[in-house]
Amino acid sequence: MTLHKAAPAAFFALAGWVVLPGAAQTTGFSEAGKAALSRQLSDAVARGDTPGVVAAVVGRDGMFYQGTAGRLDVAHNTAMPSNAIFSIASMTKPVTSVAVMMLAEEGKLKLDDPVSKYLKGFNDLRVLTKFNEKDGTYETRPARRPMTIRHLLTHTSGIAYPFANPIEARLTQATKKDEWELPLLSDPGDKWSYGPSTRVLGMIVEKITGQPLETWFQARIFQPLGMVDTSYAVPLSKQARVPTLHRRVNGLLQEERRTKIPSTPRAPFGGDGGLYSTVDDYGKFIRMLIHGGSLGPVKVLSESSVKMMGENNIGSVFVELQPDADKSLTRPFPLGAGHDKFGLGFQIAAKTDDPQDAKFRSAGSMSWAGLFNTEFWIDPVKQIGGIQLMQVLPFYDEGAIRTLRGFEESVYRNLR
């Protein structure tokens, strides 16, 4: 998801964001500024917008701010700790996208390779032409072009999630097949539809490396970056740090009964979701991207790869508003639909003429979110990243978005 702030025309003309001569060198926040951010979080809890939240702002040189508010477990009156471990859902996707870029740098794949080169079942793609909602029957035609890895990275593959697409919801219900086994909703490259494209990328990573995602992510990304609390499982010794999930029903947040959390990683692992993480860990991942692919002595990607990930990779196509096909899981999303672009794994904030956007992140910022209203953004102009984690359904809950917007506005108002 994204919000916007206007940037200098010279910046936007670069079509990338790693090397930015003249990029603002921020120094963080004054004590008064940090207090203002903490008040914003506490006010969000007091309004009933969120039961608990952890938020952070990182810069090139470290953590500028970290704050908490509310409860990790409301029923037991447990305060939210700064090291709370959240189910980050689709914030897994940028990690998988980085993994794909790493393999591209190693010459093990090319972004415009057809998916069929690596996976069976993608060599005879069909596109939906007619659909009968009542009985789930449909007609198709051959796809006009192959599906490529780039299409998967940009969500222009023609695959969609059932919770955000009513046709996909009916098709999966009628056929009992996974989304990528069904006819495409559009030709690859023609339209932006949010879906499990990154799950398919995860399959490709496992195919090429011969390792489960958990193993490869730990060895190549998490351990080198010092992301000690990020995994597809949470050890029993750490599970007391996992917040309870809340769902808004009739305007009020209701705490869900705790479900079993995996204590050891068990396949299958999804490239599009399933990771647990903390603001400290994800902040290191963001700082690596701000630094152009490196963090201290650890190099994950080249600057050119990070720059490419932050460029428009969908041409004249725009990010489109996704409907709430399953209202228990989502509201329509994302902010920025209709004018934002998409890079390789990230939504890219467009420059707008709305003066209100000057309160928020810069044009060219990279972002995405997770189903339980976990959010992040990376601002190349200010050289900062923001993270806000909570566990609330549905996605794009009004209270959760109000909390994000308030935090982000406070960040830019107080940033030095």
| pLDDT tens-place string over residues 217-249 | 999 999 999 999 999 999 999 999 999 999 999
Third-level CATH fold of 9-92+212-414: Beta-lactamase (3.40.710)
**How many whole angstroms separate alpha carbon 324 and alpha carbon 396?**
10
Selection from 383, 313, 384 nearest residue 347 by Cα:
313
Q: Which residues of the chain fall below pLDDT 50?
A: 1-22
Q: Which two tokens stand for residue 336?
A: 């920025």
Give SS3 for 202: helix
pLDDT score recorded for residue 8: 35
CA 311 to chain centre: 16
**How many whole angstroms separate alpha carbon 373 and alpha carbon 227?**
21
**How many whole angstroms separate alpha carbon 4 and alpha carbon 131?**
37
Q: Which two tokens stand for residue 273?
A: 């979701």
pLDDT score recorded for residue 256: 97
pLDDT score recorded for residue 18: 47
Give CATH 3.40.710.10 domain extents, the chain: 9-92+212-414
**Percent of the chain that is helix, strand, coil (3-state, to 5):** 35, 20, 50
How many DSSP H helices and E strands does the chain contain? 11, 17
**Segment holding 69, helix H or strand E:** strand 62-73
CA atoms within 13 A on the CB side of 274: 22
**How many whole angstroms separate alpha carbon 348 and alpha carbon 312?**
7
pLDDT tens, position by position, 47-80: 999 999 999 999 998 999 999 999 999 999 999 9
Cβ atoms of 291 and 60 within 8 Å: the answer is yes
pLDDT score recorded for residue 14: 37
pLDDT score recorded for residue 12: 34
Cβ atoms of 151 and 157 within 8 Å: the answer is yes
Question: What secondary structure letter does DSSP report for 221?
Answer: I
CB atoms within 10 A of CB 50: 27
CB atoms within 10 A of CB 243: 28
pTM for the structure as a whole: 0.93
pLDDT score recorded for residue 133: 84
pLDDT score recorded for residue 24: 61
